[in-house]
Structure 1
Amino acid sequence: MDEIHAIACEDKKNHVILCTHPLCYTVGSDDPGGWPVPTIPADRGGSITCHSPGQLVTYFCFQAHEPAAFYRKVRRAYDELFASLLPQVRYDPKRPGWYIQNRKIASLGFRYRKGVSLHGVSLNIDVDLKAHNRVSPCNLDGVIATSLLNEGVLLDEENLSRDLIQLLSQSFDDPCF
């Protein structure tokens, strides 16, 4: 992500990275410590986040000279995605992420440097919920992790990625990144 961010700062274009990570727990600047799992510090805000296979992580290295407008466009794309897959999913601005009641299905967080965004959104497709629930998502009391599969949606990463890119393209009114 840092390498792509540097490129985006130079070429003034938007770049998106879609990937998965091996099982790991990352902590941001709000890390209180004392976790029951090993953690990796990350250059972001927030507390603890679990990443693993079965989770689609979208990193945005976008020109974001107006962070609030950028954030709204990302939200719009994911809101539309969830409206088509699981209409009961809602975004919670007080606890940034998408939820079904107390079950968190996607997290988001951004940092901005030199007018370009860093970090992004992680969406649980088919994750090991036992591993994800070893910690409370984002250290939020009473919140557990869930996934599309756990909520009855069977969708593979390739198709989800394709749909997401289309929605992001529409939201940003940009046919290609």
Structure 2
Amino acid sequence: VTYHGPGQLVMYVLFDLRRLDIGIRALVDVLENITITGLKQYGLSAIARKDAPGVYIDDKKIASLGLRVKKGCSYHGLSMNIDMDLTPFSFINPCGYEGLEVTQLSEHGVKCTTSDFAAVLLHELKQQLNYCQLKLGPNTLHV
């Protein structure tokens, strides 16, 4: 179970994993790495955990992953807490982990919008996958 709400960036990654020649674990690693690298640009140190996918700052989850792969194609993606009301997370076990605390960029003194961080993630994703063109909604963003 998870929660999505205003002030949260949700990034859907629709890839043909066979064409990219990567597996599911490699895609998880890419998504975690681009998030960690993006957070570094804001002066934050974050980690990924093999036992609980996602990205963490001081044992609090700031980004969650939720992927489905069907016929070699990935669906869904990641959610990144930017500046939102975290109260709804207290009513659930985020990602199935009882007692897991969540955090967001604004709690760490970072002032940015979901669009700002989306641009950072897209740039990092392009670097990781060696892409020249990525789609952001109905528009095409060249990074």
TM-score (norm 2): 0.82
Equivalent residue, structure 1, for 2:62: 105
Residue in 2 that maps onto 1:52: 5
In 2, distance between residues paired with 1:99 and 1:155?
18
Contact 1:124 1:146 survives alignment (8 Å): yes
The answer (yes or no) to whether the contact 1:102–1:142 under 8 Å persists in 2 is no
Task: Measure how far apart 1:137 and its partner are.
Answer: 1.6
Shift of 1:59: 0.7
1:71 aligns with 2:24: no
Q: Aligned with 1:87: secondary structure?
A: coil
| Aligned twin of 2:139 | none
Structure with greater helix share of residues: 2
Over 3 Å counting, the alpha-carbon distance change for 1:95 and 1:86 in structure 2 is farther
The offset of 1:86, in angstroms, is 4.4
Once residues 32 and 106 of structure 2 are traced to their aligned partners in structure 1, the CA distance between those partners, rounded to angstroms, is 22
Structure 1 CA distance, aligned partners of 2:99 and 2:58? 10
* Two-structure CA RMSD over aligned residues (Å): 1.5
C-alpha displacement of 1:157: 1.5
Displacement of 1:107 in angstroms is 0.4
User: Which of 157, 162, 165 is the matching residue for 2:114?
Assistant: 157
Structure 1 residues 77-106: Cα deviation after superposition (integer angstroms, max 9, x where no partner) = 122112222432211110111112231111
What 5-or-longer segments of structure 1 have no aligned partner?
A: 1-47
4+ residue runs of structure 1 moved beyond 6 angstroms? Answer: none
Secondary structure of 1:120 counterpart: strand
Q: How many residues align?
A: 130
Give the structure 1 partner of residue 104 of structure 2.
147
Question: 2: CA distance between counterparts of 1:70 and 1:131?
Answer: 28
Rounded to whole Å, the distance in 2 between the matches of 1:95 and 1:129 is: 20
Task: Give the corresponding residue for 2:88.
Answer: 131
- Looking at CA atoms only, which structure, 1 or 2, has the larger radius of gyration? 1
Gaps of 5+ in 2: 135-143
- Highest relative contact order (Cα 8 Å, sep 6+), 1 or 2? 2
Question: Identity of counterpart residues, as a percentage?
Answer: 32
* C-alpha spacing 1:76/1:99, structure 2 compared with 1 (3 Å): closer
SS at match of 1:119: strand
Tell whether the 8 Å contact from 2:10 to 2:77 is kept in structure 1 after alignment: yes
TM-score for both structures, normalised by structure 1:
0.68
